[in-house]
Amino acid sequence: MANTPQAKKRIRRNNARAEINGARVSRIRTHLKRVETAIEAGDKDQAQTALKAAQPELARGVARGVMHKNTAARKMSRLSKRVSAL
């Protein structure tokens, strides 16, 4: 258990940040899932719009530090490749 006031404050802050970051990652996953379901359904228009909505979410995740930039780039590249193949 933390003894110093600063350590107690860090625990509180870490818990708050973990909750916020968890929500961010969840939002990104939701956007990616929308693209995946549109691809599986074979709906190119819906997949393209979902991809356009997912792209800024991925970029925001990188900017906020919840996702590595290469991970986001890889996911975006693979999804756009699959959408264009429809």
CATH of the domain at 68: 1.20.58.110
What is the value of pTM for the model shown? Answer: 0.83
Asked whether the beta carbons of 50 and 43 are under 8 A apart, the reply is no
Nearest to 36 by CA among 82, 84, 72: 82
- How far is Cα 18 from Cα 20, in angstroms, rounded to an integer? 6
pLDDT digits (tens, 9 = 90+) for 33-44: 999 999 999 989
Q: Into how many domains does the chain fold? A: 1
Tokens standing for residue 3: 């003894």
Instruction: For 18-27, give one letter per residue: b (16+ CB within 10 A) or e.
Output: eeeeeebeee
Domain extent for 27? 5-84
pLDDT digits (tens, 9 = 90+) for 16-61: 999 999 999 999 999 999 999 999 999 899 999 999 999 999 999 9
